[in-house]
Homo-oligomer: A and B are copies of this chain.
Amino acid sequence: MNKVKVPDIIISRLPVYLRALQYMAANGSTTTSSQELGEKVGISAAQIRKDLSQFGEFGKQGTGYHIPFLIERLLQILKVEHVWDVVLVGMGELGNAILRYQGFENRGFRIVACFDNDPAKIGTKVADFTIDDAKNITEKVRAMGIKMAMLCVPASTAQDITDKLVEAGVKGVLNYAPVSLTVPSDVRLQYIHPVIGLQRMAYYLLAK
């Protein structure tokens, strides 16, 4: 099975399936169907079956999916059976909201360090974290072996911080800063910004 060939649009839906399945499991369900899952996530049953078929056989015609098995397989496929260490950079309101969010760890991620360049913030505590000086970011991130970063800094400093993270060995950057960034080809960059999401929806709202 050559995973690199699975279209990115399918990969992008797997976390949504996983979340819905985990929610069902938490509510005591043990089986589901592509129809039921589809209704929960707003994606057609046929699309769900097609997406999952990229990774092998998950369900039987007529009996549906065994939820714990499907969750386990999706965790494996997405490589989140184990917890990834993540660095958070930029401790403004958004960074604070993310740092206080409790839902990362049981879904495969754990924030282990946070940085800012504001002297008024450096050394202060947010939740259980002490904000570290951004000037130490390369050496600390490298020393901790962190491979993933969330970037909540202003647009003006985003590329500089990204360069430092890449230098430190980070291979995945989730970018909240409202700016396009350049990374080497072996680094995965993903944009997460409300305007991007809104513009993508606007296309559909008047397209019909």
Contacts and interface: CB of A to CB of B under 8 A. Distances in A.
Contacts of A202: 78-80, 84, 108, 148, 172
A133 to B, nearest CB: 23
A100 B8 CA distance: 33
A25 B73 CA distance: 46
Nearest to A44: B185
A206 B108 contact: no
Contacts of A20: 180
Contacts of A198: 84, 86, 104, 108-109, 148, 150, 172, 174
B194 A104 contact: yes
Given A190-B197, A197-B192, A205-B188, A103 B178 contact: yes
Question: How many of chain A's residues touch chain B, expressed as a range?
Answer: 35 or more
Interface stretch (A34-42, A56-64, A134-142): A34-42
A40 B204 CA distance: 26
A42 B196 CA distance: 16
9 contacts: A3-B203, A3-B207, A18-B199, A19-B196, A79-B207, A80-B199, A103-B178, A108-B199, A190-B197
Given A20-B180, A93-B96, 13 more contacts: A12-B196, A15-B200, A41-B180, A93-B93, A93-B97, A101-B194, A103-B195, A108-B198, A108-B199, A148-B201, A148-B202, A171-B205, A174-B198
